[in-house]
Amino acid sequence: MYTKGFDIQDIATFGQWIAEGQNMLLVSHMNADGDACGSLLGMTLMMDRAAREGCRITPVLPNGCPKNFVWLPSADRIVNGEKEREEWRKRLEEADLAVCVDLNTPSRTDMLAEELRAAQCRKVLIDHHHNPDRKEFDLIFSAPEISSTCELVLWLTKAMWEERFMNRDVATCLYTGLNTDTGGFAFSCEQPSCFEAAAELVKYDIHPAEIHNRIVNTFSVDRMRFYGFALNERLRIYPAQRVALMAFSLRDQERFGVNGEDMEGLVNYTLMMKEMEVGALLREERGRTKVSLRAKYGVDVNLMAQKLGGGGHTKAAGATCTMSFEKTLEEVERLLGIADVEPLHWETER
Ligand SMILES: [Mn+2]
């Protein structure tokens, strides 16, 4: 079992805040992934059972629950901060406690960040990203060495409540984040605790194969066709630098009717070629460009992302740039050492 890093007093305080809370909010990051959704809902379900009768616990995601994860237990309770702005404001105003999961700074909640920062309630952070923004939270449970926030939630709640509030639904939520943040137990799983967590969760009669299918085998036909286009027409390969890069303008996305959610995971294709060591994906949005970076071995893409005003993990990081799409592309090329280098193959825009 993971035991490092928890302060007994902090755990007692957190348990106390939940026990005395009346209106409690849980929040995770924009464009939620499996770990965000899983830790948000797993923690919500346990807090439901740990809190006093009659209190209200509300999970919130800045732009709602992605369709890949709507099958998670209690996903229908998630307030979409963007679409249900008034509801979010009301719940935040009433809240005595806000628990933030799988984010290291309020900025990761995008359009909710300002209100979250200004909120007067107690704020707790449970996260595994580097450099938590300490001044924004009253209590921090941070463990960058751990596979996923879901794993951290498992160990933290076990230390706080033993297994009193665990059940099959909670285990399903937490296993989801463990699975997605490790790419199906392929990376970020160097610590034995990751597999110990999986073993703990499987005890609750969850179905790993079914969860895997619901996460992975979910493509629409349009999305599959877009991937074909992306790999054929937009993948640039730089063998000498061992870099692969894909960049998608708004026009590309409109042509196939795809959005950011549909591109979740596409960046990982850059590292599927055995010679490639660093991969990047750029996606133009209205007024900004999203950059995703991935690395295999020694390269620290977190440092690279920080230079673009973002961050993340050593081998998976990202940034949101407000420069133009073209400028962002130039900047990324410079950081990757491929500015002015001819890619292996690159068909010009159609
Ligand atoms: Mn995570």
CA of 240 relative to ligand 1 center, distance in Å = 32
Return d(Cα 84, Cα 45) in angstroms, integer: 21
DSSP state of 30: S
Please tell me the predicted confidence (pLDDT) of residue 264. 86
How many angstroms does the Cα of residue 43 sit away from the middle of ligand 1? 14
Q: Are residues 194 and 48 in the same domain?
A: yes
Instruction: Give the phi and the psi of residue 192 in degrees, each rounded to 5.
Output: -55, -30
Assess if residue 153 is contained within a domain: yes
The answer on 205 and 226 residing in a single domain is: no
Q: What is the pLDDT of residue 350?
A: 47
Residues facing residue 346 across a β-bridge? none
Ligand 1 centre distance from Cα of residue 139 (Å): 19
Are 47 and 179 within one domain?
yes
Q: How many domains does the chain have?
A: 2
What is the total residue count of the chain?
Answer: 350
208 and 126 housed in the same domain: yes
How far, in Å, CA of 1 to CA of 158, rounded?
Answer: 10
What strands, in cross-sheet order, belong to the sheet with 139-142? Answer: 79-80, 56-61, 23-27, 97-101, 122-127, 139-142
Q: Domain containing 232 — which CATH number?
A: 3.10.310.30
Query: In the 8-state DSSP scheme, what is residue 147?
Result: S
Residue 125 C-beta-side C-alpha neighbours within 13 Å: 27
Q: Residue 257 C-alpha to ligand 1 middle, in angstroms?
A: 27
Residues 254 and 187 in one domain: no
In the reported structure, the alpha carbon of residue 36 is separated from the centroid of ligand 1 by a whole-number distance in angstroms of 6
- Non-local (6+) Cβ contacts of 330 within 8 A are 339
Question: Domain of 304?
Answer: 221-336
Q: What is the pLDDT of residues 12-47, one digit of tens each?
A: 999 999 999 999 999 999 999 999 999 999 999 999
Q: Residue 116 belongs to a domain with what CATH number?
A: 3.90.1640.10
**52 plus 136 within the same structural domain:** yes
Q: How far apart are CA 101 and CA 59, in angstroms?
A: 10
Regarding whether 235 and 171 lie in a shared domain, the answer is no
Distance 64 CA to ligand 1 centre (A): 17
Name the pTM for this structure: 0.82
Q: In terms of domains, do 250 and 199 share one?
A: no
**What digits encode the pLDDT tens for the residues 134-152?**
999 999 999 999 999 999 9
Q: Are residues 41 and 147 in the same domain?
A: yes
Does 244 lie in the same domain as 203?
Answer: no
User: Does 326 lie in the same domain as 258?
Assistant: yes
Distance 103 CA to ligand 1 centre (A): 8
Q: Which residues have a Cβ under 8 Å from the Cβ of 302 and sit 6 or more positions away?
A: 130, 311, 312, 313, 314, 317
Task: Please say which residue of 200, 215, 230 terminates a domain.
Answer: 215
pLDDT tens digit string along 278-332?
999 999 999 999 999 999 988 999 999 999 999 988 999 999 999 999 999 999 9
**CA dist list (Å): 319 to 102, 203, 267, 311:** 16, 38, 14, 6
Neighbours of 44 (CB within 10 A): 24
Question: How is the chain split among helix, strand and coil, in percent rounded to 5?
Answer: 45, 20, 35
Domain boundary among 215, 234, 264: 215
Position 347 confidence tier, pLDDT thresholds 50, 70, 90: low
Give 181 Cα–ligand 1 centroid separation in angstroms. 6
- Domain stop point among 199, 215, 231: 215
Same domain, 243 and 211: no
- CA gap 333, 260 in Å, rounded: 21
Cα 130 to middle of ligand 1, angstroms:
11
